[in-house]
Structure 1
Amino acid sequence: MKFSSFDHFRLSSQFLIASFPVIALCTILVGSWVGYTVKNGVAHRLGGDAALYVDTLLSHRLQFRPGTHDLTPASITALDSFLVDTGLEKKVAALYLWAPAGKLIYSKNKTLLGKSFPVSEGLSDAYAGNIYSEIISPSNNEPENDLRDLGTLIESYAPIRREGTDEILAVAEFFMTTEELNREAEMAELDSWLIVGAVFGAAYVLLFQIVRNGSNMIDAQRASLREKLDLVTALNEQNSVLHDKVKLAAARVTTLNEDFLHRISADLHDGPAQDLGLALMKVETLCDACETCPRKQELQERNDRESPTVRALLKAALGELRTIAAGLQLPDLETLSIRQVVMRSVHDYQIKVHMPVDVVMPEEERDVILPVKITLYRILQESLLNGYRHANGVNQRVELWYDDSCVHVRIADGGMGFDLEAVPEHGHLGIKGMRERVEALGGDFGLHTCPGHGTVIQAGLPFRVRSDEHA
């Protein structure tokens, strides 16, 4: 099983897999440590009991040659029969008696008597009046080489005191077999293993139950979140489709709106404008049609007074109507490039106001859809006219550039600017109209101005709208 697939398991399964080796290892370590501690404790207890027993039995058997630490032959003979007479032969494998400075004064191996050996830690501790015990494996060094075939033994040192006093006559070193030790240690170790295993097992089961409950809760929450995420994803996809449809509809509306304005312009020109022109002609010839009228003189005087005013009003209305009709009708933009659309808008503006405009554009061309061209033309038309009305056309500048998906335009002037916060909510309808045109196609619109620093209008329009082949 690859480790990378471990994350695919439930949390409870991960806990079960990951924690079992840890729990097992901890159980083994704790059980082994408890067994080792118990074993050493039993060894010290057995050694201590045997040391007290040996001290009691040996203290009255030790007889030394006068002025020396050497035992008398009778004392050595008594010690040879000590183990047999007292029934310790099965438990005590060997017995040594030590005089100060590491001199061996008793051993079954009589060739070792009188020799001196390095003072061990146990011998030194026993001469200080303490009982010392440890579990050892006999070495090949004298005097232990006679015991090397016996395996593990309990080595004990016990001080032998003169009866009724604290005077240490000698130190007894004896080696005991580990049969009793192993029996008690195995029982204690088994008990410790059972207790430790039961405690860790209960903790393991309890923790697993807690983790499993948490895992079930997390799985339920995860399933709920997955359902909600699927619902949100579906709604987001629907919103994306609706957003694309809105932008597509806006592009269509932009084109249809211009067609509608063109139709209104034609209707105004062919309808009311023609009627006003005919009415003007009739007013100018009205007096000639009344030559036989008996009130000719009166009508002539009245015509002389009112006809100039009427003719002036009709001419003004006719001129304004033709201007409105011309403003409503766009030039044919579909065949023009972006550069040509910009230059056409600037040219139409300059014809009206006779003011210079600085134009900066890249040499390259990009293909855009008709609604983008219409919106670009209207933005330039409205921005330049606003710059003329409110900034007297000072330092007007048009910049055009592209990025990967949009065409950007910036229209700036050097006028006095204005405070946007001070503009009433219903004011600057032209700016609102430009913003709505741009944002309807999914573009960005920005206006930057402040008193004394001119006005900058910037817009970014996408080259195409999704599914715009049907726009």
Structure 2
Amino acid sequence: MQPLHRIRSIWRRATLLQQFLAAATVTICVSMAVLTYSVSTRLESSIMQAAAEEGALLVGHFIGPHVQELASSDVLSPQNVERLDAMLQTVLNERVKVIKIWMKDGRLVYATNNKLIGEKFPSDHLDKAFGGRVSGSFDDLDDDENTYERELKVPLIEIYAPFYRTGTREVIAVGEVYNDGSRLLGELSHIRTVTAGIVGAVTAPMMLLLFLIVRRASAIVAAHGAALSRKVDEAKALADQNDQLRREADEARLDAIQSNEGLLGQIGQDLHDGPIQLLSILTLKLSEMKPADSGSTALPMVTGSATGGLADLTAAALSDLRDLSIGLVLPQLEGLNARETLLLAVRQHEALTGTRVLTEIGDLTFFPPPPLRTCLFRIVQEGLNNAYYYASGQGQHVSASGSAGQITIVVRDSGSADAPASPRLRKTGLGLPGLHRRVQGFRGSLEIAQLSPGTELRATLPMGDPAGG
């Protein structure tokens, strides 16, 4: 199996032109061998049959008259044996090397090697010859009767020819003649060589033409392959560039979110440290003011009713500013995992509004990046603010779960037919549009659905930082 595996490996590594040359060479060589063998075999069969018929005529002409006594006897007379022996010493010996005469029962009545006379050697060739058929072929001389023939060291053509009774078609014996086949063997070898040459001469132009066509096709395929490879490299470079641009855009988006959170926190802190402090002092001063005495000549003072009105307006403004600053400033989120961040948003809402929120938060123990942690907090904060503001906090519920690299947060309420705006919580107008932008910045989705009754806010975000992968 290892040589076959090696051949397959070499074949796969070869170019199209090399594969064609290898396949064409094998195909042409096999075709030439088959065609040469087929033609030479047919020619050999035809020539051998002609040689056999010629030999049969020769045997019948020279030997036939000396074996007529076999029509009535099963042995040859000594006189005829001598004549046959003498015949082989004449010019006939140049072609005929061995003569054997067989009876129908497979017994030899004459043989050049007289030691075999009287022996029986049945053969299919004898049966065919006694049936009147002439046959001939190159003999491989591997039978027991061919000891003498093997010692001659020359290729021999074995010919079987029937002997007929004079004037009839009755076969009285069969002659087996071994002719020298050196000349015929050389002619057959020459025929095979010529046939192979003709096949090669015819095939060579076709091979050359096919080679030129395949070489041109291979060059075209190679050029297209190189162009395609360049296109793939360019596409890969563009993809890498687009990926880098995407990463930079995500990083810029996250930086903007972080900057926005910092800005909101700074605004909330400034509101708390500035206007809220001043209004707190103003409220305190107003509460200390006394009504003016009607008999006094001092500057007129603000009356008690006016003082009460100013105090109420100041308290209302202070409450609004405090609510704004609470909504803008985030609590400390650093070091919290996802579950702890979501629970902190719920607990802060409960403390601020005095309402109850049901929670179903899964085992979200991973630590999100700071921008994602802030987004998770804002989703729950905004969802619960809406539930409290529009549904008076009826049926507030927060659930969260994580799977397949995503976290899904659902905030819903049961709704309220008459839900007045609560004095404890004021809407800032920065809610859902800003929340949409936050979620989209993380390649997430935000959906608002109306239930019967109530409203559901569903947000889905990746657990990781989009700029990081």
Q: Structures share a fold, TM > 0.5?
A: yes
The corresponding residue for 1:342 is: 342
2:102 to 98, 115, 128: 98
Task: Give the whole-Å Cα distance in 2 for the aligned partners of 1:81 and 1:372.
Answer: 123
Once residues 321 and 226 of structure 1 are traced to their aligned partners in structure 2, the CA distance between those partners, rounded to angstroms, is 64
Q: Which amino acid aligns with 2:150?
A: R
Contact 1:359 1:399 in 2 (8 A): yes
| Distance (whole Å) between structure 2 residues aligned to residue 387 and residue 58 of structure 1 | 132
Name the SS of the counterpart of 2:112 in structure 1. coil
Specify whether residues 383 and 268 from structure 1 end up closer, same or farther in structure 2 by C-alpha distance, changes over 3 A only.
same
1:408 maps to which residue? 407
Structural mapping, 1:159-174, within 5 Å: 159-174=162-177
Cα deviation for residue 256 of structure 1 reads 1.4
Give the Cα separation in 1 of the matches to 2:108 and 2:266.
135
Q: Any residues of structure 2 matched to 1:42-441 within 5 Å, and which? A: 42-64=47-69, 67-83=72-88, 87-113=91-117, 115-139=118-142, 141-142=144-145, 144-151=146-153, 152-265=155-268, 270=274, 319-320=319-320, 322-334=322-334, 338=338, 340-351=340-351, 352=353, 354-358=355-359, 360=361, 362=363, 366=367, 368-388=368-388, 389=390, 393-394=394-395, 396-399=397-400, 408=407, 410-413=409-412, 415=414, 433-441=434-442
Change (3 A) 1:322 1:56: same
Assess, with a 3 A threshold, how the Cα gap between structure 1 residues 251 and 141 changes in structure 2: closer, same or farther.
Answer: same
Residues 276 and 322 of structure 2 are in contact (CA less than 8 Å); yes or no, is this contact kept in structure 1? Answer: no
**Structure 1 residue matching 2:94: 3-state secondary structure:** coil
How far, CA to CA, are the matches of 2:382 and 2:119 in structure 1?
A: 121
1:372–1:461 CA contact under 8 A, matched in 2: no
Answer 1 or 2: higher relative contact order, Cα 8 Å, separation at least 6. Answer: 1
Q: 7-16 or 342-351, which moves further after superposition?
A: 7-16
Give the C-alpha shift of residue 451 in structure 1.
5.4
TM-score, L = length of structure 1: 0.74
How much has 1:216 moved relative to structure 2? 1.3
Q: Secondary structure at the match of 2:227?
A: helix
Q: Partners of 1:391 and 1:39 in 2: how far apart?
A: 114
Count of residues in Structure 1 that have an aligned counterpart in Structure 2: 438
* Gap regions ≥5 residues in structure 1: 292-299, 417-428
Q: Partner amino acid for 1:55?
A: G
Residue 223 of structure 1: CA displacement?
A: 0.6
Deviation at 1:63, TM superposition (A): 2.9
Deviation string 1:330-351 (CA, Å, 9 cap, x unpaired) is: 3354576655533331122213
- Cα offset, 1:438, TM superposition: 3.0
How far is the alpha carbon of 1:189 from its aligned partner? 0.7
Instruction: Give, in angstroms, the shift of residue 79 of structure 1.
Output: 3.1
Which secondary structure state, in structure 1, belongs to the residue aligned with residue 120 of structure 2?
Answer: coil
Structure 2 residues without counterparts, runs of 5 or longer: 1-5, 296-302, 416-429
8 Å CA contact 1:391, 1:413 repeated in 2: no
Q: 1:234 and 1:164, CA in 2 relative to 1: closer, same or farther beyond 3 A?
A: same
CA contact (8 A) 2:442 2:461 kept: no
Aligned CA distance change for structure 1 residues 39 and 324 (closer, same or farther; 3 Å): same
Separation (CA, whole Å) in 2 of partners of 1:108 and 1:400: 110
Change over 3 Å in CA distance of 1:414–1:27 after alignment to 2:
farther
Amino-acid identity (%) = 25
Cα separation, 2, equivalents of 1:207 and 1:198: 15
Q: CA deviation at 1:134?
A: 1.9
Shift of residue 467 of structure 1?
7.7
Letter in 1 for 2:374: I
In structure 1, the residue matched to 2:298 is: none
Alignment-derived partner of residue 296 in structure 1: none
Deviation at 1:60, TM superposition (A): 3.7
Kept in 1, the 8 Å contact 2:70–2:76? The answer is yes
- What is the Cα-based RMSD across aligned positions, in Å? 4.6
1:323-370 Cα deviation digits (max 9, x unpaired): 34542333354576655533331122213251233254659563x443
Cα 1:109–1:14 shift into 2, 3 Å: closer
Contact 1:140 1:148 in 2 (8 A): no
Separation (CA, whole Å) in 1 of partners of 2:59 and 2:10:
67
CA distance in 1 between partners of 2:180 and 2:231 (Å): 75
| Distance (Å, rounded) in 1 between the aligned partners of 2:39 and 2:69 | 45
Change (3 A) 1:124 1:263: same
1:99 CA drift (Å):
1.9
The secondary structure found in structure 2 opposite 1:70 is coil
